[in-house]
Amino acid sequence: MSRLSGGLIDRDTPLNFHFNGRSYQGYAGDTLASALIANGVRLVGRSFKYHRPRGIFTAGSEEPNALVTLREGARAEPNTRATMTELFDGLVARSQNHIGSLEHDLLAVNDLLSPFLAAGFYYKTFMWPRAFWEKLYEPAIRRAAGLGALSMEPDPDAYDKGFLHCDLLVIGGGAAGLAAALTAGRAGARVILADEDSRFGGRLLAESDTLNGAPAVDWVAAVCAELDQMPNVRLMSRTTVFGAYDHGIYGAVERVADHLPTPGACVRQTLWRITARRTVLAAGATERHIPFADNDRPGIMLAGAMRAYANRWAVSPVPAGDKVAIFTNGDDGHRTALDLIAKGVRVSHVIDTRTDAPRFGDYDLLSGATVTGSRGRKGLRAIRVAQDGRETWHIVGALAVAGGWNPNVHLASHHRGRPVWDESALAFLPHNPPMGMVPAGACVGKGGTAEALADGMRAACAALAELDFSAKPISLPEAQNASAAQAPYWHVPGTRRAWVDFQNDVTVKDIALAHKENMRSVEHLKRWTTLGMATDQGKTSNVSALAVMAEITGATIPETGTTIFRPPYTGVALSVLGGGDTGEHFRPKRLTPTHGWAKAQGAEFVEVGPWMRAQYFSRDGETHWRQSVDREVLAVRRDVGLCDVTTLGKIDVQGTDAGEFLNRVYANMMGTLKVGMVRYGLMLREDGHLFDDGTCARLAEDHYVVTSTTANAGAVYRNMEFARQCLWPDLDVQLISTTDAWAQIAVAGPKSRALLQRIVDGFDLSNEAFPFMACAELTICKGLRARLFRISFSGELAYEVAVPARYGQALMARLMEAGADLGVTPYGTEALGVLRTEKGHAAGAELNGQTTAQMLGLGRMVSAKKDSIGAIMSRREGLAQDRRRLVGLKSCTPEVQIPAGAHLFTKGATQSLKTDQGWVTSACYSPHVGGYIALGFVENGDRRMGEILTAANPLEGQSFEVEVTSAHFVDPEGGRLRD
Amino acid sequence: MLIPHPLLGLRDAQEFTYLGDASLMSRPAPEAGEAAFCDYVFLRDNPAGVHRELWFHEQGDRSWLVVTRDTVTHEILGAELASDYARSSS
């Protein structure tokens, strides 16, 4: 164990964990990364492409190397950053991307092949033959280059989503964020303070700075305690705000239970959608490194991270006695030396690129020096230092690299605000942030503790002033600003590979190669080399790479430009984006009023849009769905059947102009419909194609009830409201969707009148009193309000009876009971489909958005006496001359099924697009015909009765002979429905 | 996105169904002929900048709104009831 004194770990709570099968011990407050370092584990993974041994490089969410598979079984989660994983007792983690052990990875051979794996190698290498891609190259590459593997088991945990609103969202709980939250909290604003870390404080936890002369954590604790007491403030630790969306909406993931062995009764993570009137972005900064030859060995890490491990987690990067070196281009690296020395770690040298490097303490300082190489295959053993033209090897166990800090501008650029280069800060700073966002602190280059505190307070006051809160300045603690002086120094030239992007194995050489191959714009550079495209999104590498490219091209960094960031800031699991809406809960289900009854009858259900509808009702002894469906169809044709048709869209239309309004939205005339009658109606789209069909019943002079198909119920209502509000706002008409208000049951078959007669309250159902296409309001079952429509989809004598939805199930039961001796039979959507196909009624497959009224043989329904939506365009030459017509098709071999979707050809003709004669829309077995039948559109179909066509299904290599017939397989004269 | 509904205040865009260019409200008179309808049905401006567009408050009060939105920044400059807009512009 290489533990130091102090730190924010709880030494009274030891925790056991396993890494690659070996057991170790850490403490509460550790991350997996700090615990591994404390146990002397330096090698934690293999790199993506070259399988180079890698160690922990950072102490935060920017980590490129230390990706592990956390947990086991179904909960195994690949690519988890060890630096963000809070240690818990019994934690199990494994390293990734190696064949054989981590220490002896067989794929390390890739490193020797590196001359062939340079930038753009897969664009150049695996081009031919094309067929090899899928079978050979891709699987091989995926196996060799990669990250962790999924468990392939269902996720056992629960997720949730939630909505929050606030006046001020503060993103980041470091010095600036805490000052902002406290300022706003005291002003009475509703504040949310979110930080990705498990505790607030940001870099205050990682530095040795004092506030008011006491450790900074004391001030942090006092502020958090005060904020926690405020009812207007919500503190959200372990919460990453990952994206800035429009109008002050932010996406955030709270890791509710990731720090626990299992979530238990908790959800694992929650997706928050935070609507904030104003936002202070206090996201801090990420340190960058300085590429040099062989700079990727375990033991080389960012200087700020090394400081954080020493101060927060009391961990030394080396065993006691071994030495640490620091490589820096500015004063910041010296802080690491001072903090390590204060903790008793031996510092070999501070290697400063500046010739006039200042000295801050008692350590060996090499000015104007660089690190030019390293040794140690599985962990750093020595570094080579160049100074004054001489190179010397130094034995060190670890090297801290300090290349300056990159402000975390990510969220500020989510609305395409391109960051701008600031020459004095040597960094990109936020520019044009999303509306309502005020960046503050280290993310605008104000990273000194005192200036960050002041800037956070300023930002909160500025944001709140726009909301008419009078935020008063708070008394900030006494703090210092550590010197941030640095010299621009971007990489150490050399012949060996110097890594820029560790996670995607992109080196300085790759950038030079991209330049040579003319991939010089930042966007090309990024894609050609895959720089910054790994899971860390190049947080530690992007700016360094731009600087290297700028140096090669001789341009400045602002001339070279920068890529911008998109959400998410860090990876977000699909599970939490789903927010628990999986499986059964993927979307809401709509149940018909008779659902419970149908379920009790043993119905099979089918999804129809959002609805669950009874598909067929299986009876004892029936082993195949066709037996049930045939029985149901024959029962309707012989006796009487019942079907819940509630799902059809119902729209109530009222007003003195209701008739005129319907004239304009239906292609046919509706204003002339007599009260007490129903008319079939066609709706067109404004482009002249068929949109929907349904019935239109006139209950009173100023009152119609219209129906739409189930699928189009929403769209038809939306269009009618569009017509009413946007096109003809002066018509006196009101609409309301009553689909859910009325349960509607089809009572179909020769005995339907006899059945209904038993439940109506003295209503005359005779053909004379209530003929085909009549409608009425009446009472049934001794006083129940109902509506009755004499309409038929099956071609039989039929009615639809509607009652308030809550009586739907009771009505179904009553009809079943009352009709027992009549052979009453419930039928589902399959039988409904067969019945309408036998009758030649169009449905969804015929009204597919590409067909016209003429094609259905209903061209004359488009009234020429009035204007209506789509009327003008339906007369376009191209549509008017279309000669395809709806016909019936009979399989010439009755027991052979005609596939729906098959294309039709003249018998004997070559089959091509040019000779195509139409297609099959709907097909089924007709128990009435005793064979397979279909509907379809055929060129001049109305003139080709009796002709034998070929129905071809080239996908299956099938072709069938079919006979063109009338679409009305049942009762073409329509006598049955009129009797 | 948040849409400032003239009757209901700020509402989440998820409650709305988007249709597009508010020029769809200017349906030609039937006498205008086929060419005018072709333009109406098929031709739309697609400006990068300020755009008047139709949104339907489908999961709400079922008002059609004319929303003025900057398509570049998504800033919403105003919203009014389509029926009011139709009456005032006719």
Cβ–Cβ under 8 Å, residues A197 and A571: no
How many Å from the N-terminal Cα to the C-terminal Cα in chain A?
Answer: 96
Q: Cβ B40–A686 below 8 Å, yes or no?
A: yes
Q: How far is B19 from chain A (nearest CA, A)?
A: 10
Strand partners, A499: A507
Instruction: In whole angstroms, give the CA distance from residue A936 to residue A369.
Output: 83
- pLDDT for res A813: 98
Instruction: In whole angstroms, give the CA distance from residue A646 to residue A632.
Output: 19
Mean pLDDT computed over A460-474: 95
Q: What is the DSSP letter of B43?
A: -
Say yes or no to pLDDT of A891 above 60: yes
Strand partners, A735: A653
Cβ–Cβ under 8 Å, residues A838 and A795: yes
Q: Which residues of A touch B86 (CB under 8 A)?
A: 725-727, 729
Q: How many CB pairs under 8 A join A and B?
A: 67
Q: Cβ B41–A246 below 8 Å, yes or no?
A: no
Instruction: In whole angstroms, give the CA distance from residue A915 to residue A744.
Output: 45
Site from B14, B44, B58, B62 to mutate, A interface, most A CB atoms within 10 angstroms? B62
Q: Which residues of A touch B15 (CB under 8 A)?
A: none
- pLDDT for res A664: 98
Instruction: In whole angstroms, give the CA distance from residue A584 to residue A562.
Output: 45
Say yes or no to pLDDT of A715 above 80: yes
Nearest Cα neighbor of A240 from A382, A392, A91, A84 is A84
Q: Which residues of B touch A872 (CB under 8 A)?
A: 30, 33-34, 37
Touching check for B33 and chain A: CB below 8 Å? yes
- pLDDT for res A367: 97
Cβ–Cβ under 8 Å, residues A691 and A703: no
Going by pLDDT thresholds of 50, 70 and 90, the confidence category of residue A142 is: low
User: Encoding tokens for residue A67?
Assistant: 């990706």
Rounded to two decimals, what is the model's pTM?
0.90
User: Encoding tokens for residue A871?
Assistant: 């009327």
Q: How far is B23 from chain A (nearest CA, A)?
A: 10
- pLDDT for res A103: 86
Q: Cβ B30–A872 below 8 Å, yes or no?
A: yes
Average pLDDT taken over every residue of chain A: 94
Mean pLDDT computed over A560-568: 88
Say yes or no to pLDDT of A422 above 80: yes
Q: Which residues contact A628 (CB under 8 A, 6 or more apart)?
A: A616, A617, A618, A619, A622, A830
Nearest Cα neighbor of A247 from A278, A216, A212, A272 is A278
- pLDDT for res A583: 84
Q: Which residues of A touch B74 (CB under 8 A)?
A: 246-247
Going by pLDDT thresholds of 50, 70 and 90, the confidence category of residue A111 is: confident
Peptide bond connecting A129 to the previous residue in cis, omega within 30 degrees of 0: yes
- pLDDT for res A756: 98
Q: Cβ A726–B37 below 8 Å, yes or no?
A: no
Sheet-wide strand order for A365-367: A300-302, A398-402, A323-328, A346-352, A365-367
Say yes or no to pLDDT of A935 above 70: yes
Write the single-letter amino acid at B78: G
- pLDDT for res A122: 62
Cβ–Cβ under 8 Å, residues A557 and A547: yes
b (16+ CB within 10 A) / e for A386-416: bbeeeeeebebbbbbbbbbbbbbbbbbbbbe
Mean pLDDT computed over A75-90: 96
pLDDT digits (tens, 9 = 90+) for A624-680: 999 999 999 999 999 999 999 999 999 999 999 999 999 999 999 999 999 999 999
Phi and psi at A910, nearest 5°, equal -65, 145
Q: Cβ A725–B63 below 8 Å, yes or no?
A: yes
Q: Cβ B24–A415 below 8 Å, yes or no?
A: no
Nearest Cα neighbor of A488 from A425, A442, A441 is A425
Number of Cβ within 10 Å of residue B30's Cβ equals 13
Number of Cβ within 10 Å of residue A685's Cβ equals 17
Instruction: In whole angstroms, give the CA distance from residue A709 to residue A723.
Output: 19
Touching check for A873 and chain B: CB below 8 Å? yes
How many Å from the N-terminal Cα to the C-terminal Cα in chain B?
Answer: 30
Nearest Cα neighbor of B66 from B50, B82, B51, B77 is B82
Q: Which residues of A touch B87 (CB under 8 A)?
A: 729-730
Q: Please indicate whether residue B45 or residue A937 has the higher confidence score (pLDDT).
A: A937
Write the single-letter amino acid at A233: V
- Backbone dihedral region of A541: left (phi > 0), alpha (psi from -120 to 50 degrees) or beta? alpha
pLDDT digits (tens, 9 = 90+) for A589-637: 999 999 999 999 999 999 998 999 999 999 999 999 999 999 999 999 9
Cβ–Cβ under 8 Å, residues A773 and A757: no
Write the single-letter amino acid at A142: R
Cβ–Cβ under 8 Å, residues A870 and A667: yes
Write the single-letter amino acid at A116: F
Going by pLDDT thresholds of 50, 70 and 90, the confidence category of residue A132 is: low
Instruction: In whole angstroms, give the CA distance from residue A304 to residue A307.
Output: 5
Number of Cβ within 10 Å of residue A49's Cβ equals 24
Residue given tokens 């849409």 in the structure block: B3
Instruction: In whole angstroms, give the CA distance from residue A880 to residue A864.
Output: 13
Cβ–Cβ under 8 Å, residues A492 and A500: no
Rg (CA), chain A: 38
Touching check for A485 and chain B: CB below 8 Å? no
User: Encoding tokens for residue A975?
Assistant: 């006598």
Q: Is the ipTM of this complex over 0.85?
A: yes
Q: Cβ A248–B83 below 8 Å, yes or no?
A: no
- pLDDT for res A579: 86
Nearest Cα neighbor of A851 from A902, A899, A885 is A885
- pLDDT for res A601: 95
How do the residues of chain B divide into helix, strand and coil, expressed in percent and rounded to 5?
A: 30, 35, 35
Q: Cβ A725–B24 below 8 Å, yes or no?
A: no
Domains in chain B, please, with CATH? 2-89 (3.30.2270.10)
Q: What is the DSSP letter of A202?
A: G
Q: How far is B51 from chain A (nearest CA, A)?
A: 17
Q: Cβ A435–B75 below 8 Å, yes or no?
A: yes
Instruction: In whole angstroms, give the CA distance from residue A644 to residue A813.
Output: 12
Mean pLDDT computed over A739-759: 98
Site from A726, A732, A737, A879 to mutate, B interface, most B CB atoms within 10 angstroms? A726
For B41, the closest of A415, A730, A873 (CB atoms) is: A873
Q: Which residues contact A164 (CB under 8 A, 6 or more apart)?
A: A192, A234, A272, A273, A274, A275
Instruction: In whole angstroms, give the CA distance from residue A763 to residue A779.
Output: 8
pLDDT digits (tens, 9 = 90+) for B3-48: 999 999 999 999 999 999 999 999 999 999 999 999 999 999 899 9
For A246, the closest of B1, B42, B87 (CB atoms) is: B1
Nearest Cα neighbor of A296 from A663, A50, A33, A563 is A50
